[in-house]
Chains A and B, each alone.
Chain A
Amino acid sequence: MIPLLLAHLVAFLVCLAPGRRSARWALPVAAAVPAVTFGWLVSQSSSVLHGDVPSANLEWVPQLGLGISLRLDGFGLFMGLIVSGIGTLVMLYSTAYFGRRDDLGRLAGLLVGFAGAMLGIVWADGLLSLFVFWELTSITSFLLIGFEDRSATARSAAQRAFLVTGLGGLALLAGLILLGIQGGTTSLSELLANPPSGTVTSVALVLVLAGAFTKSAQFPFHFWLPGAMAAPTPVSAYLHSATMVKAGLVVVARFAPAFASVGPWRALVVSAGLASLVLGGFRAMRQQDAKLALAHGTVSQLGFMMVLLGLGTPGTTYAGVAMLLAHALFKATLFLSVGVVDHSAGTRDMRRLQGLARALPITAGIIVVASASMAAIPPTLGFVAKEKALDALLDTGLGAIGTVALVGIVAGSVLTVAYTIRIAVGLLGNDAPGVTVEDGARGGSGTGALLEAPVDPSGVHAPSLAFQGAPFVLAALSLVLGIAAEPVGHWLAEVTVSLDPATASKALHLWTGVNTPLVLSAGIITAGIASWWFTVAATRSVDAPYSTATRLYDRAYDSLLAGARQVTAVSQSGSLPLYIGVVLVSVGAALATALLAGSTDAISDVPWANSSLEVPLVALTALLALAVLGARQRFTAAVLLGGSGYMLAIVYLLQGAPDLAITQFLVETLTIVVFLLALARLPRDFHPAPSWAPRWIRIVVSVVVGLTVAGFALGTSQSRTAESVGDDYLALSEPEAGGRNVVNVILVDFRGFDTLGEITVLAVAGAGVVNLVRAARRQQRRKQLSDGLEVEERSGRPSEVWR
Chain B
Amino acid sequence: MSFTQAALVAVLAGAGTYLVMHRTLTRIILGLGMLGNAVNLLILTAGSSPGNAPIVGEQAPVADPVPQALVLTSIVITFGVMSFLLSMAYRGWTIDGNDEVEDDITDRRLAEEPGEPVDHGEPT
Contact = CB atoms under 8 A, between A and B. Distances in A.
Contacts of A785: none
A399 interface: no
B11 A626 contact: yes
Given A660-B75, A702-B14, A743-B72, A765 B26 contact: no
Contact of A656 (B53, B103, B118): B53
Interface in B3-55: 3-15, 17-24, 26-27, 30, 33-34, 37-38, 40-42, 44-48, 50-55
A663 B124 contact: no
A802 interface: no
Interface in A569-613: 569-570, 572-577, 580-581, 584, 606-611
Given A698-B21, A765-B80, A765-B83, A644 B3 contact: no
A776 B89 CA distance: 10
Contacts, number: 349
A618 B101 contact: no
Interface string A207-230: 000000000000000000011011
Give the most central of B4, B47, B63: most A CB within 10 Å. Answer: B4
Nearest to B86: A678
A656 B1 CA distance: 13
Interface string B45-75: 1111011111111000011111011011101
B34 A622 contact: no
B77 A762 contact: yes
A42 interface: no
Contacts of B57: 740
Interface stretch (A410-418, A519-527, A556-564): A556-564
A407 interface: no
Given A660-B71, A762-B80, A622 B11 contact: yes
B26 A686 contact: yes
B20 to A, nearest CB: 5
B65 A742 contact: yes
A659 B50 CA distance: 14
A404 interface: no
Interface residues of B, number: 97
Contacts of B46: 713-714, 716-717
Interface residues of A, number: 128
A431 to B, nearest CB: 28
A656 B52 contact: yes
Give the most central of A156, A157, A772: most B CB within 10 Å. Answer: A772
Contacts of B18: 629, 698-699, 701-702
Given A626-B15, A656-B63, A709 B23 contact: no
Contacts of A711: 6
Give the most central of B17, B45, B46, B111: most A CB within 10 Å. Answer: B17
A576 B98 CA distance: 16
A764 to B, nearest CB: 8
Interface string B75-103: 11111111110111111011100111101
Give the most central of A654, A709, A716: most B CB within 10 Å. Answer: A709
A652 interface: yes
A436 interface: no
B123 A550 contact: yes
16 contacts: A569-B110, A615-B4, A628-B30, A655-B48, A655-B50, A659-B68, A674-B86, A678-B90, A710-B6, A714-B1, A716-B42, A717-B45, A726-B66, A734-B56, A773-B90, A773-B91
Interface of B: 1-15, 17-24, 26-27, 30, 33-34, 37-38, 40-42, 44-48, 50-57, 62-66, 68-69, 71-73, 75-84, 86-91, 93-95, 98-101, 103-108, 110-112, 115, 117-124
